[in-house]
């Protein structure tokens, strides 16, 4: 025991422990990396990744770098996952036409196969959120009431309680969610595009994401049974309309009265 105690107090003991810790950490990281590569290879073929790399170099590398490491014009894409690419490219937000505070929705520039190839290439660079399964997009399995509660707590402050969208700061905005596909809604929650926070599976589970999608599709199907929805912005827009229309009627009536011969 005395000899063991002396070894512990040796000046190089701390260095040895540090080196041992680094070796263990490096081994675990390498093992995790190999698992991620194996998962990526099972989802996408090598040919898809190769074709995706060609598309990336030709269309995305100017801003994101030749190896997707990022640049002053665009962030790194290592570890963003296939879902981020599928959302950004599948909604036409990427490639951007010009630099600005936010990438707007526009007609898509790649077909579904090319989008999947780009997603496969970026997913091969590092683990990240995957494209959701069809089961997680099936609104018949969702709970609209629970989804509405989750939406109001986490999303309504930006997207409006009726998902009509709203303005943010410095030219940014939360888009309206009417007409957005189930897959893209799920991917937006998983990846946090633009100014949106990331709601990973620890914050909002896949089943809860499906509930949110069910709620959004339900209010989308309901339309506006009460008449013109005025942007679904609530009493502010409704009061402004009543004030403007009412004031216009009063002015018109006054002009009519004063124009009559006495």
pLDDT for residue 39:
43
CATH number of the domain where residue 169 is located: 1.10.760
Q: Are strands 173-174 and 166-167 parallel, antiparallel or unpaired?
A: antiparallel
108 part of a folded domain: yes
In sequence order, which residues have a C-beta less than 8 Å from that of residue 41 and are 6 or more positions away?
124
Q: Against a cut of 0.75, is the pTM above it? A: no
CA distance 4 to 9: 9
Q: Are residues 226 and 151 in the same domain?
A: yes
Q: Are residues 74 and 148 in the same domain?
A: no
pLDDT in tens, 146-160: 999 999 999 999 998
* Residue (of 204, 200, 155, 154) closest to 180 by Cα position: 155
Alpha carbon dihedral 76, 45, 130, 89, in 10-degree steps, equals: 60
Domain span holding position 204:
134-233
Q: Are residues 107 and 173 in the same domain?
A: no
Q: Are residues 138 and 170 in the same domain?
A: yes
Tokens 């109001």 -> residue: 152
CA distance 41 to 127: 12
Mean pLDDT, each 10-residue run in order, the chain (262 residues): 53 65 65 44 75 95 93 93 96 91 93 96 94 95 96 94 89 93 97 93 95 95 69 68 85 84 66
pLDDT for residue 11:
61
Helix 112-125 crosses helix 13-43 at what angle (to 10 degrees)? 170
Q: Are residues 70 and 149 in the same domain?
A: no
- Residue 209: C-alpha distances to residues 12, 77, 147, 167, 254 (Å): 52, 24, 7, 24, 55
pLDDT for residue 12:
60
CA distance 18 to 11: 13
**Total tally of structural domains belonging to the chain:** 2
The DSSP result for 79-128, as a single string, is T-HHHHHHHHHHTT-SS-SS--SSPPP---SS-HHHHHHHHHHHHHHS--
21 part of a folded domain: no
Backbone angles phi, psi at 174, to 5 degrees: -95, 120
pLDDT for residue 37:
41
SS3 74: strand
pLDDT for residue 215:
97
In sequence order, which residues have a C-beta less than 8 Å from that of residue 237 and are 6 or more positions away?
230, 231
Q: Are residues 142 and 223 in the same domain?
A: yes
pLDDT for residue 41:
39
**Facing residues of 167 across strands?**
173
Q: What is the CA radius of gyration of the chain?
A: 27
pLDDT for residue 258:
84
CA distance 209 to 200: 10
Which helix H or strand E contains 174, and what residues bound it? strand 173-174
128: Cα separation from own chain's centroid: 13
């Amino acid at each position: 025991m005395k000899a063991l105690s002396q070894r512990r107090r040796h000046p190089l003991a701390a260095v040895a422990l540090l080196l041992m810790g680094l070796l263990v950490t490096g081994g675990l990281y390498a093992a995790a990396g190999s698992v991620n590569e194996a998962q990526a290879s099972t989802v996408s073929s090598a040919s898809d990744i190769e074709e995706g790399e060609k598309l990336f170099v030709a269309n995305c590398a100017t801003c994101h770098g030749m190896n997707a490491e990022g640049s002053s014009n665009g962030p790194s894409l290592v570890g963003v996952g296939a879902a981020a690419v599928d959302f950004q490219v599948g909604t036409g937000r990427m490639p951007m036409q010009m630099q600005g505070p936010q990438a707007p929705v526009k007609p898509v520039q790649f077909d579904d196969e090319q989008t999947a190839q780009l997603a496969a290439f970026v997913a091969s660079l590092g683990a990240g959120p995957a494209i959701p399964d069809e089961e997680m997009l099936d609104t018949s399995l969702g709970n609209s009431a629970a989804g509405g509660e989750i939406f109001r707590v986490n999303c309504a402050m930006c997207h409006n309680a009726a998902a009509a969208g709203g303005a943010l700061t410095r030219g940014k905005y939360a888009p309206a969610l009417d007409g957005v596909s189930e897959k893209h809604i799920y991917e937006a929650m998983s990846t946090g595009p633009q100014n949106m926070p990331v709601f990973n599976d620890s914050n909002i589970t896949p089943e809860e994401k499906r509930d949110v999608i069910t709620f959004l599709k339900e209010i989308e199907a309901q339309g506006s049974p009460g008449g013109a929805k005025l942007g679904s912005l609530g009493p502010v827009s409704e009061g402004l309309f009543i004030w403007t229309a009412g004031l216009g009627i009063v002015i018109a009536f006054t002009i009519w009265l004063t124009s009559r011969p006495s």
